[in-house]
């Protein structure tokens, strides 16, 4: 085979491949645009209000706070 013949085949193959990819991407773009018009956008649902609690509080007792503080203090002193 001559060099000119090989280059001609390479050029033909390259142009064919590039054309196929270009056509495929063009079709894909149009299909995505059509789908975005056909499928409705989601409407965000309004959050439901949380009813107030029935008198229960999540407050931590003073004894618990003191116990946690003592444990943290002891842990920090023993790590040294």
**Concatenated DSSP letters for 18-34?**
HHHHHHHHHHHHHHHHH
Q: How far apart are the C-alpha atoms of 23 and 63, rounded to whole Å?
A: 74
Hey, what's the torsion of the CAs at 62, 65, 66, 72, to 10 degrees? 180
pTM of the model: 0.48
Sequence ranges of the domains in the chain: 1-40
pLDDT in tens, 7-48: 999 999 999 999 999 999 999 999 999 999 998 888 888 888
pLDDT band of residue 60 (cuts 50, 70, 90) is confident
Distances (CA, A) of 33 to 19, 26, 36, 39, 76: 21, 11, 5, 10, 61
């Amino acid at each position: 085979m001559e060099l000119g013949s090989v280059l001609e085949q390479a050029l033909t193959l390259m142009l064919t491949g590039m054309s196929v990819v270009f056509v495929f991407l063009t079709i894909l773009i149009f299909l995505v645009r059509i789908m975005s018009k056909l499928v409705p956008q989601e409407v965000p649902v309004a959050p439901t209000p949380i009813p107030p609690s029935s008198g229960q509080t999540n407050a931590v007792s003073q004894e618990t706070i003191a116990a946690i503080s003592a444990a943290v203090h002891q842990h920090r002193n023993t790590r040294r």
